Amino acid sequence: MLPRCLRRLGAIVLLGVVSLPGSASARGTASGLPVPAPELLAQRWSARWITHPAAPKAEYGVYLFRRELTLAAKPARFVVHVTGDARYRLWVNGRPVGYGPQASDPAEWRYESYDLAPWLTAGTNVLAVRLVGYGDLAPYASMGLRTAFLLQGDTAAERAADTGPDWKVTRAEAYAPFRADRDDLHTFVVVGPGDRFEAARHPWGWEQAGFEASAWSAPRLLGPGLPHGWGTDVDYWLKPRSIPLLEETPERLARVVRATGVTVPADFLAGTGPLTVPAGTTAAVLLDQGHLTNSFPQLTVSGGRGATVTLRYAEGLFDAKKQKGHRDEHEGRVMLGLGDQFRPDGGARRLFAPMDFRTYRYVQLDITTGTEPLVIEDLSGVFTGYPFKENATFRSDDPELARIWTVGWRTARLCAIDTYVDCPYYEQLQYVGDTRIQALISLYVSGDDRLMRNALELYDRSRIPEGLTQSRYPSYSPQLINTFSLFWVDMLHDYWRHRSDDAFLRARLTGLQAVLAWFEAKIDPATGLVGPVPYWTFVDWADEWAWNSGLGIGGEAPGAHTGGSSIVTLQYAGTLRRAAELCRSLGRPELATHYEQVATGLRAAVNQHCWDPVRRVYADTPAKQTYSQHANVFAVLAGAVTAEAAGELIGRVADDKSLVQATTYFRFYLLRALKEAGLGDRYLAGLGQWHAMLARGLTTFAEKPDPTRSDCHAWSASPVYEFLATVVGVEPASPGFATVRIAPHLGHLQEAAATIPHPRGEIAVSLRRAGAGLQAEVTLPEGVTGEFLWDGKTVALRAGAQTVQVP
Portion of the chain with pLDDT greater than 70, in percent = 97
Supply the pLDDT for residue 11. 30
Over the stretch 367-426, which tens digit does the pLDDT of each residue have? Answer: 999 999 999 999 999 999 999 999 999 999 999 999 999 999 999 999 999 999 999 999
pLDDT at position 653 over 50: yes
Per-residue CA distances from 11 to 106, 312, 349, 418 (Å) = 19, 18, 22, 10
Over the stretch 439-474, which tens digit does the pLDDT of each residue have? Answer: 999 999 999 999 999 999 999 999 999 999 999 999
Domain 24-191+199-243 has CATH 2.60.120.260: yes
Q: Which H/E stretch holds residue 503? A: helix 502-506
- 136-140, 231-235, 702-706: segment of lowest average pLDDT: 231-235
* Residue range 533-553: mean pLDDT, rounded: 94
Q: Are 264 and 285 in contact (CB under 8 A)?
A: yes
Backbone dihedral angles phi then psi of residue 633, each to the nearest 5 degrees = -60, -50
Q: Compute how many other C-beta atoms are within 10 angstroms of the C-beta atom of residue 306.
A: 16
C-alpha span between 284 and 275 (Å, rounded): 12
Supply the pLDDT for residue 1. 32
248-385 maps to which CATH number?
2.60.120.260
pLDDT at position 56 over 50: yes
Supply the pLDDT for residue 29. 72
Q: Are 538 and 483 in contact (CB under 8 A)?
A: yes
Domain 386-499+702-721 has CATH 1.50.10.10: yes
Supply the pLDDT for residue 180. 75
Backbone dihedral angles phi then psi of residue 689, each to the nearest 5 degrees = -65, -35
Name residues whose C-beta falls within 8 Å of residue 457's C-beta, 6 or more positions apart in sequence: none
C-alpha span between 13 and 504 (Å, rounded): 34
Over the stretch 484-505, which tens digit does the pLDDT of each residue have? Answer: 999 999 999 999 999 999 999 9
Over the stretch 152-196, which tens digit does the pLDDT of each residue have? Answer: 999 999 999 999 999 999 999 999 999 877 777 889 999 999 999
* Residue range 199-225: mean pLDDT, rounded: 97
Supply the pLDDT for residue 184. 79
Supply the pLDDT for residue 13. 32
pLDDT at position 5 over 80: no
Name residues whose C-beta falls within 8 Å of residue 655's C-beta, 6 or more positions apart in sequence: none
Supply the pLDDT for residue 720. 98
Over the stretch 662-715, which tens digit does the pLDDT of each residue have? Answer: 999 999 999 999 999 999 999 999 999 999 999 999 999 999 999 999 999 999
DSSP 318: B
Q: Are 257 and 287 in contact (CB under 8 A)?
A: yes
Query: Please, which residues bridge with residue 144 across strands?
Result: none
Q: Which H/E stretch holds residue 697? A: none
DSSP per residue, 742-753: E----TT-SEEE
Supply the pLDDT for residue 8. 27
Supply the pLDDT for residue 185. 85
Q: To the nearest whole number, what is the mean pLDDT of the chain?
A: 94
Angle, to 10 degrees, between the axis of helix 629-638 and the axis of helix 667-676?
40
Supply the pLDDT for residue 772. 86
Can you state the percent helix, strand and coil of the chain, rounding each to 5? 25, 30, 45
pLDDT at position 602 over 90: yes
pLDDT at position 15 over 90: no
523-682 maps to which CATH number?
1.50.10.10
pLDDT at position 297 over 60: yes
Over the stretch 298-335, which tens digit does the pLDDT of each residue have? Answer: 999 999 999 999 999 999 999 999 999 999 999 999 99
Domains 386-499+702-721 and 523-682 equal at CATH topology level: yes
**Confidence category of residue 30, pLDDT binned at 50, 70, 90:** confident
In the chain, where the domains are located: 24-191+199-243, 248-385, 386-499+702-721, 523-682, 751-806
Please enumerate, as own/partner, the contacts of 482-485 that have beta carbons within 8 Å and a separation of 24 or more. Answer: 482/518, 482/519, 482/533, 482/534, 482/535, 482/536, 482/537, 483/537, 483/538, 483/539, 483/560, 483/568, 483/571, 484/431, 484/432, 484/433, 484/538, 485/432, 485/515, 485/518
From the list 389, 364, 386, the residue with the least C-alpha distance to 286 is 364
